[in-house]
A and B are shown apart, each in its own frame.
Chain A
Amino acid sequence: MEIVVCIKRVPFTQEVDLEIAPSQKDIVKEGLAFVLNEWDNYALEEAISLKERLGGQVTAVLIGSEEDEEVLRRALAMGADRAVRVDPGDVYLDVRGISKILTRVVKDMPFDLILTGAQADDTNEGCVGVMLAEELGIPHASVVKGIEVLDRTLRIRVELEGGTEEVSTIRLPALLTIQTGINEPRYVSVMGIRKAAKKELKVFSLEELGLDSESIKPDSIVERLYFPPEQGGAHMLTGDPATVAEKILKILKEKGVIQ
């Protein structure tokens, strides 16, 4: 099975006190660590384990700068066979632009299945996968938690609200956006990533792909970024861990969460 996985490199924001840049259109990225988007990690693992079972090849695609290439190397180390990076330069891209570029890249590739993360950890829009499927004119499903391969179709489990799940079949070629927890992504060692440096990694500019600024013009732009205004209702617990734990327990009991 030929599989394409679209991935992204995002800031690692766990416990970081984020700051908003003076332009108010972005966060301050200086000093932040960057990682492979968590959802994409699951998508990659799913693609690679499908390949290991069924044969075929996995191609990882990324839109980003040379710095972002690091996560493509990680994908190669995980077991992807090829990697493609599109360097958009300084062009402002929204979900529309990104899906247009991806469409252009993927169209020339043989593929049976395209996987993307259900969303990205930075902007949480969850649009690109669906828009890409629409552009390519192939069926898609979002927030997939399980894939079972039947002949030329897949039986998939999709997460719905409130813990319900929907099982359906989808015809290939198709696009699925992958939810975390679908598998257990393998660890890629630092040495493994270094070794993957030998694998092929192609880079294209927008011009090389024949894309002009008009064709990837954004539909939406960020006007202003701000922290949500502080609201009441938060109750700060203080004390040593044992005391705090006791207080939490008491509250949970009061609110009827536990008996």
Chain B
Amino acid sequence: MYTKGSEALFIPHWVFWLICVLSLGIFVRTIKRRITPLRQAQKDPRFNQWRLRISALIKDGFLQIRQPRYPFSGIVHLVIFWGFVILGLRSLQLIFYGLGIPFIDPFSTQGIWYRYAQLKDIFEVLVLLACLLSIIRRAIFRPSRYKGSSQLEAYLVLSLISFLMITDLAFDASHIMLQNSNVNTISLKLLSNFFKTFSPSELSYIFSISFLLHLLTFFVFLNLLPISKHFHIITALPNVFFKKLTKGSIKPARYGIQQLEDLEYLGIKQITDFTWKHILDFYSCTECGRCSDNCPANLSGRALSPKMLTLKLRDSLYSAFPIFKKASEQREVIGQVINQEEIWSCTTCGACERECPVFIEYIDKIVDMRRYLVEQGENPSTFNQVFLNMEKTGNPFGRPAQKRTEWIQNLEGIQVRILKKGDEVDTLFFVDSYPSFDPRSQSITLAIAKGLSMAQVDFGILGPIEKDSGHQVRRMGEEGLFQLLKEQNQKTFETIKFQRIITADPHSFNTLKNDYDLKVEVYHYTQYFLELLKGGRLSLKGMPKEGRYTYHDPCYLGRHNGIYEEPREILEKFLGIKLLEMKRSRDRSFCCGGADVGLWHEVREEERMAQKRIKMALEVGADYIITACPFCLMHLEDAIKTHGLEGKIQVVDLMELIISVC
């Protein structure tokens, strides 16, 4: 059943056939070229865990639950996105109408398709409003996170979308007026007063011209997508679907290769060394800048901006695989596109990845670039001794393995079992290097040992046979060394029977949990001591000192492993502290400076991350910053000392606090 409407269109169908075939032809060609690098890229096994992927697609793709983390632009985006979903069918209706192929009648006056017409009218108006708001926001408020994004393109696309809405509304309204039908839609309400002044022949001009303009705009827009940041309209949903499902871990040096020695080189040298998913990341970036808006490196004036990293790599990919121009020979990435300072600026805190609405991955890419640099010997020279020490002595300090247990001497009257091959124990306390050797970190170690002993936990440590967990070296790009340390530790684990591992440091916790292949449960002490407190195995005798307390979420406890509540529960329920939360807390916590590169390499910056963090704590009026990580403790304490804030604010590890009232 097709209405008289088609007759009213005085443009012949072949015009639309021409437009449609031409533009689809160009579109298909462009898409094919965009697929080429995906095929040349490295493997990445993401065709798995369908159930999780589908649920991610629904939650993060369609419901876009990350969008409202930025309330204004998030809601505006949701409106536009849902407008697109609803209006997709409308576009098909109109295309078929133009081609003269029977499809759903765009002019239904009753039934479900009339309801649809009303709905699409609502969304066209909403999308139009959302676009206008976005334009105003960009033009007047100029959020800093758009720095370096293509503004022109954003305006162009917002205008095109607005124009699409306007032309369809005009097309629809003029048709209804021409037909004199008694339907009453928003488009008509909005435009009837204005259209009343036109004669029927003028109306039919409006009808046909707005239709033509609408379809032309539609096809221009379609062809603009794969060559602009609006490619995300096509790639974002697949990118969300194929998102990384594991947390905290680092990707293997190369998927599908057993003998890494056989590789010509490790990591990223040229653009096609990225995996296909990482190339899809480049396609999907919306340039929204939320990553950089939360990146501590960017905020403290370092060379790194995650958004610019993606944009630079994307542009270099586009010039190596162009649509129109001659391909650039230049495929090398490091030094040419991304400089070393950017690569070493990242603390792997994960704030960017937590924020990205389309789930672009950064840490794996950065670590992969580091792997290349390390293998070429182009790492900061200060790493050389650290790596060698790790390899030879199992700790970054080059201290003899026998001295790994020296901290025990400071435990008065408490016995710590040093486990040997064949031993059996309930809880293995994996101390790791800093908590073993670093005098400040040792205070956490001692507190844990005391706490375990008070709770009468059957625990032991590995002592001289424990090697560094390798968390740092892996993130610094020394993959071979990480594999070596992991192998040595896993072999040691096999010789001892234990039920669980607990760690002092969120980094060792993360690596044992996510980078090792262990069958037992790994706990950070915050989780384990919460259990001990809840089970009544450990009871507290008093209250901590009066004062205003805030809690700083360590990146590898919070963002990378989702442990936000356990430390808070200990603090609020068991220690009776009413926490003052900083604006950047939980998954928006602000990195202290990190536990890997930053320990051995000075990156140029305007202000230390730890110093910024201390300021945030002072802003909420805290006297004490509680944390649960030896590195946070170290960096934050340093910042207090170097900025003369001693006496004003103090950093305490949660374990120290617990033991002070045991």
Q: A-side interface residues toward B, CB under 8 Å?
A: 12, 14-17, 31-35, 184-195, 197, 241
Interface check B381, CB cutoff 8 A: yes
Considering the complex, give the chain A residue whose CB is closest to the CB of B386.
A187
Interchain Cβ contacts under 8 Å between A and B, 21 examples: A12-B392, A12-B393, A14-B399, A15-B398, A33-B393, A33-B400, A34-B392, A184-B381, A185-B384, A187-B383, A187-B384, A190-B391, A190-B481, A190-B484, A191-B260, A191-B261, A191-B479, A191-B480, A192-B480, A193-B480, A194-B260
Interface size class of B (residues with CB under 8 A): 20 to 34
Interface check B629, CB cutoff 8 A: no
Please name all residues of chain B whose beta carbon is closer than 8 Å to the beta carbon of A12 when the two chains form the complex: 392-393, 398
Q: Is the CB of A189 within 8 A of B384?
A: no
Partner of A189, one of B374, B392, B398, B400: B374
Considering the complex, give the chain B residue whose CB is closest to the CB of A16.
B400
Considering the complex, give the chain B residue whose CB is closest to the CB of A197.
B261
Q: Is the CB of B403 within 8 A of A186?
A: no
Please name all residues of chain B whose beta carbon is closer than 8 Å to the beta carbon of A31 when the two chains form the complex: 400-402
Q: Is the CB of A189 within 8 A of B402?
A: no
Summed over the interface, the residue pairs from A and B with CB atoms below 8 Å come to a total of 65
Interface check B316, CB cutoff 8 A: no
Partner of A35, one of B261, B392, B399, B483: B392
Q: Is the CB of B392 within 8 A of A33?
A: yes
Give A31 to B398 CA distance when docked, in angstroms. 14
Interface check B424, CB cutoff 8 A: no
Q: Is the CB of A186 within 8 A of B377?
A: yes
Q: Is the CB of B261 within 8 A of A194?
A: yes
Give A258 to B656 CA distance when docked, in angstroms. 39
Interface check B211, CB cutoff 8 A: no
Considering the complex, give the chain A residue whose CB is closest to the CB of B374.
A189
Please name all residues of chain B whose beta carbon is closer than 8 Å to the beta carbon of A15 when the two chains form the complex: 398-400, 403
Interface residues of B in 470-525 (CB under 8 A from A): 478-481, 483-484
Please name all residues of chain B whose beta carbon is closer than 8 Å to the beta carbon of A16 when the two chains form the complex: 400
Q: Is the CB of B403 within 8 A of A189?
A: no
Please name all residues of chain A whose beta carbon is closer than 8 Å to the beta carbon of B478 when the two chains form the complex: 189-190
Least CB distance from A31 to B in Å reads 7
Q: Is the CB of B403 within 8 A of A187?
A: no
Interface check B550, CB cutoff 8 A: no
Considering the complex, give the chain A residue whose CB is closest to the CB of B482.
A190
Least CB distance from B462 to A in Å reads 15
Interface check B387, CB cutoff 8 A: yes
Please name all residues of chain A whose beta carbon is closer than 8 Å to the beta carbon of B393 when the two chains form the complex: 12, 33
Q: A33-B393, A194-B260 are in contact. List 15 more A-B contacts (CB 8 A).
A: A12-B398, A14-B399, A15-B400, A31-B402, A35-B388, A35-B392, A185-B384, A187-B374, A187-B387, A188-B377, A189-B374, A189-B387, A189-B478, A190-B483, A191-B266
Given contacts A33-B392, A190-B391, A191-B260, contact A14 B377 (CB under 8 A): no
Give A42 to B387 CA distance when docked, in angstroms. 17
Please name all residues of chain B whose beta carbon is closer than 8 Å to the beta carbon of A14 when the two chains form the complex: 398-399
Please name all residues of chain B whose beta carbon is closer than 8 Å to the beta carbon of A190 when the two chains form the complex: 391, 478, 480-481, 483-484
Please name all residues of chain A whose beta carbon is closer than 8 Å to the beta carbon of B384 when the two chains form the complex: 185-187
Interface check B375, CB cutoff 8 A: yes
Least CB distance from B8 to A in Å reads 71
Interface check B286, CB cutoff 8 A: no
Interface check B25, CB cutoff 8 A: no
Considering the complex, give the chain B residue whose CB is closest to the CB of A192.
B375
Which of A12, A187, A193, A197 gathers the greatest number of chain B CB atoms within 10 Å? A187
Interface check B45, CB cutoff 8 A: no
Interface check B379, CB cutoff 8 A: yes
Which of B374, B399, B479 gathers the greatest number of chain A CB atoms within 10 Å? B374
